[in-house]
């Protein structure tokens, strides 16, 4: 699955590019569109020990098929998307009796980074209003499923404290397989302000913290 998805995206990107190569007017109606969201994550209901860093961030790559609603200025779009979230914190995650628990990294264990990465494959469904003034207004929902979950630690070896190591692990367990998201954009032509709200917790009920991300940033839709 992990190898198949990049290939699928490459095929879709090629198809979209060739189909829209003659559409040169920014912000005009296009049958296909490609967009990129870059955002900061605000993790809600995080345990006190987590203290997510201000630079916890993520990104989406969106490929959409647009359908104009008659002769109106409204579009209805659907497609596929890949979304990635990075939680930076000074607390690492552990499996304790089949429950994901965050524990503070000891102050004596010098480290430069600890992050959790979660990647999803999403199916967005959105409505867009294209004002004649070239302003654009979007509202949508996404159903997604988890395709990758891992952690990365950089710092002194946790066992010996003797030398610097980088440790990558697939140890982020009990994450909800499905996620449900609502999102919105507002912008001028191809540049937008973006917001996204995840409706369900990241971890399974009773098997991890109730925390989940609310995302805010910019969205660029040049194609």
Q: What is the dihedral of CA 54, 58, 64, 69, to 10 degrees?
A: -20
Contact 148, 119 (CB under 8 A): yes
Q: Which residue has the higher pLDDT, 6 or 40?
A: 40
Taking only the tens place, the pLDDT of each residue in 56-96 is 999 999 999 999 998 889 999 999 999 999 999 999 999 99
How many Å separate Cα 97 from the centre of its chain? 29
pLDDT tens digits for 10-31? 545 555 454 444 444 444 568 9
Q: 34 pLDDT exceeds 60?
A: yes
- pTM exceeds 0.75, yes or no: yes
- What is the reported pLDDT for 70? 87
pLDDT bucket at 176, cuts 50 / 70 / 90: very high
Of 28, 31, 5, nearest to 18 by C-alpha is: 31
Tokens standing for residue 2:
């992990």
CA distance 166 to 168: 7
In the chain the beta strands, taken as DSSP E runs, fall at 32-44, 57-68, 74-88, 91-95, 100-104, 111-130, 135-156, 164-169, 178-188, 191-198, 212-220
Output the pLDDT for position 25.
Answer: 47
- Decide: 42 and 214 in contact? Cβ < 8 Å: yes
Q: Which distant-in-sequence residues (6+ apart) come within 8 Å of 149 by Cβ?
A: 116, 117, 118, 119, 170, 172, 173, 175
Confidence of residue 185 (pLDDT cuts 50, 70, 90): very high
């Amino acid at each position: 699955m992990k190898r198949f998805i990049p290939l699928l995206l490459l095929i879709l990107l090629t198809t979209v590019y060739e189909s829209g190569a003659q559409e040169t007017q920014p912000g005009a109606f296009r049958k296909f569109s490609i967009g990129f969201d870059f955002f900061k994550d605000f993790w809600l209901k995080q345990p006190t020990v987590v203290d997510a860093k201000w630079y916890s961030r993520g990104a989406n790559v969106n490929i959409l098929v647009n359908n104009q609603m008659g002769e109106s200025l409204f579009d209805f779009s659907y497609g596929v998307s890949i979304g990635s979230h990075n939680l930076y914190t000074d607390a690492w995650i552990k499996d304790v009796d089949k429950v994901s628990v965050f524990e503070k990294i000891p102050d004596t264990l010098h480290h430069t980074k600890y992050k959790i990465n979660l990647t999803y494959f999403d199916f967005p469904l959105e409505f867009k209003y294209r004002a004649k003034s070239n302003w654009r207004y979007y509202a949508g929902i996404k159903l997604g499923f988890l395709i990758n979950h891992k952690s990365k630690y950089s710092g002194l070896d946790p066992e010996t404290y003797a030398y610097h190591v980088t440790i990558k692990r697939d140890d982020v367990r009990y994450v909800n397989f499905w996620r449900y998201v609502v999102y919105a954009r507002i912008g001028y032509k191809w540049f937008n302000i973006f917001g996204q709200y995840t409706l369900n917790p990241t971890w399974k009920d009773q098997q991890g913290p109730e925390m989940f991300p609310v995302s805010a940033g910019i969205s660029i839709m040049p194609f």
